[in-house]
Chains A and B, each alone.
Chain A
Amino acid sequence: MPYAQGRQHERRLPFRNILSFMSTITTDICIVGAGPVGLFAVFEAGLLKMKCHVIDALPQVGGQLSEIYPKKPIYDIPGFPMVLAGDLVQNLMEQIKPFHPTFTLGERVEELQKQEDGSFKVITSGQTEVNCKVVVIAGGLGSFEPRKPAIENLENFEGGKGVAYMILDPEHYRDKRVVLAGGGDSALDWAIFLADVAKELTLVHRGTTFRGAPESAAKVTSLSEEGHMKLLLKSNVTEVHGSEDGLESVTILSDGAEPYKLEVDAFIPLFGLVPKLGPLENWGLELEKSAIVVNTFDYSTNVPGVYAIGDINTYPGKLKLILCGFHEAALMAQSAYSFIYPDKKFVLKYTTVNGVPTI
């Protein structure tokens, strides 16, 4: 199940954050996004002997292909009558191996800084700094972020004031009064886990059934019957209340009943992940409907030295196909080469004649 993977990602991230420390990387091209198009950009850059560092917010390479549909067949990759999404990612990793790309995974790009010498510095959520001459955004649909319910003032209690969208450290909720909301297996798994940890646990679910994981659903039902937690079906949290110090209560509306207030220390909506453009929005790039506008001559953006390829860009006639992203990567690479080496002449070399160069 796709969101089961999302959940593991949520759980794995904190450990990654603890382990990762501030590091600085210097490379020719910094590629934002390790989906198929970002990976193939490493190949096209490598043919021109440009080194690449790849950053992705997900803990594994492959983007959507690995996160959402690794077992789904793809039929429109030239030369492959059918290839599983996960296999395509593996093949791309094999294909770019000769170019020794480096990776920062599980960290989201936050900032793009233009340096005095014309180069760039890309800074991630994990404080990794990448110094590079060219930035290529192959960010697909953006980074996957928790889906937030539409509740007024919810954001006032984010950031340690009682409302969280993922559970980083379950111990944080020991002996607390906790309300979870959601019906996916993330909500179920955490309900089972927190039933022993929290002082009072309530799971609020909009629907009446749980289809994702029947075993977890059965476990939650029995925990509720034994009084270890409260399960509210056909219910939802409609309001949050508190002071500047933090959350104090939530209003719960159950089908056919009067809304009532429940005193809580924490409210955790778990409604899966949804792709967002994120901090890229503030990089000064020309945008149109959450996509980056590019020149189809070389897929450059309005910021010289910054390119956008794959699903994240837009131009007249744009098709969101992996195939088109691969083509965009090839044209981007020759333009990036001229940008980095304005005095060198670009010469197209065929791999069949020259093989794959080493860098």
Chain B
Amino acid sequence: MQEDITVYVENEAGERIAVPVPTDMGLSLMEALKANEFDIMATCGGMALCATCHVELIEAPELPEASDDEMYMLENLPNLTDGSRLSCQIKVTPELDGTVLRLMANH
């Protein structure tokens, strides 16, 4: 079994909440956040179709580029930032260890 990695969710007060995430379950970042009871709707279940799992990556490793489907959804958002991604489209891998993000869907 691989060791869990840690992802940090920054809240509105600027505090970073450590979230342990297993890397051997084939999870997406959205699924990991949901499993840790963060307030994410993820309406479409992970198909890059609703943008209710929108996050802003503040510190993150180089990730595979967003697909056209994901970019289309992101461009449609009022609160798009340079670090915007749909968390359902990010696979949890060991490289993600130490990533810091903000939840953007409820803003």
The stretch of B8-16, B25-33, B77-85, B95-103 in contact with A is B77-85
Task: Find residues 46-98 in chain B having any chain A CB closer than 8 Å to their own CB.
Answer: 47, 49-52, 68, 71-72, 74-80
**A175-210 vs B, Cβ < 8 Å mask (1 yes, 0 no):** 000000111100000000000000000000111011
Tell me whether A184 and B76 are in contact (CB under 8 A). yes
Q: Pick from B39, B50, B51 the residue with the most CB of A within 10 Å.
A: B50
Closest chain B residue, CB of each to CB of A186: B76
User: In this assembly, does A211 line the interface, its C-beta being within 8 Å of a C-beta of chain B?
Assistant: yes
What residues of chain B lie closer than 8 Å to A118, measured between beta carbons?
none
User: In the complex the two chains form, is A141's CB within 8 Å of B43's CB?
Assistant: yes
**Provided the pairs A150-B78, A211-B72, A212-B72 are in contact, do residues A2 and B49 lie with their beta carbons within 8 angstroms?**
yes
B17 touches A (CB below 8 Å): no
Give the contacting residue for B44; candidates A69, A184, A269; CB below 8 A: A69
A149 near B: Cβ within 8 Å?
yes
Interface string of A196-238 (1 = CB under 8 A from B): 0000000001110111100000000000000000000000100
Chain B residues whose CB sits within 8 angstroms of the CB of A141 once the complex forms:
41, 43
- Provide the bound-state CA to CA distance between A149 and B104, in Å: 12
Counting residue pairs across A and B whose Cβ atoms lie within 8 Å, the total is: 69
- Chain A binding surface, main DSSP class: loop
Residues of B within 8 Å of A206, CB to CB, are 75, 77-78, 80
Residues on the B chain within 8 Å of A182, using CB: 76, 78
Residues of A within 8 A of B71 (CB): 209, 211
Q: Which residues of A contact B43 (CB under 8 A)?
A: 64, 141, 274-275
A181 vs B77: C-alpha distance in the bound complex, in angstroms?
Answer: 10
Residue of B nearest to A67 (CB): B49
User: Which one of A3, A64, A69, A236 contacts B76 once the chains associate, using CB atoms below 8 Å?
Assistant: A3
Pair A271/B77 contact, Cβ less than 8 Å: yes
Interface residues, chain B, CB within 8 Å of chain A? 39, 41, 43-45, 47, 49-52, 68, 71-72, 74-80, 107
- 18 new A-B pairs (CB below 8 Å) besides A69-B47, A148-B78, A205-B75? A64-B43, A68-B49, A68-B50, A141-B43, A147-B78, A149-B78, A182-B78, A183-B76, A183-B80, A184-B72, A207-B75, A207-B80, A210-B75, A271-B78, A272-B76, A274-B50, A275-B50, A275-B52
Sampled A-B contacts (12; CB under 8 Å)? A68-B44, A68-B50, A72-B47, A141-B43, A147-B77, A149-B79, A183-B76, A206-B77, A206-B80, A207-B80, A209-B71, A269-B78
Point out residues on A near B: beta carbons under 8 Å.
Answer: 1-3, 64, 68-69, 72, 141, 147-150, 181-184, 205-207, 209-212, 236, 269, 271-272, 274-275, 289, 320
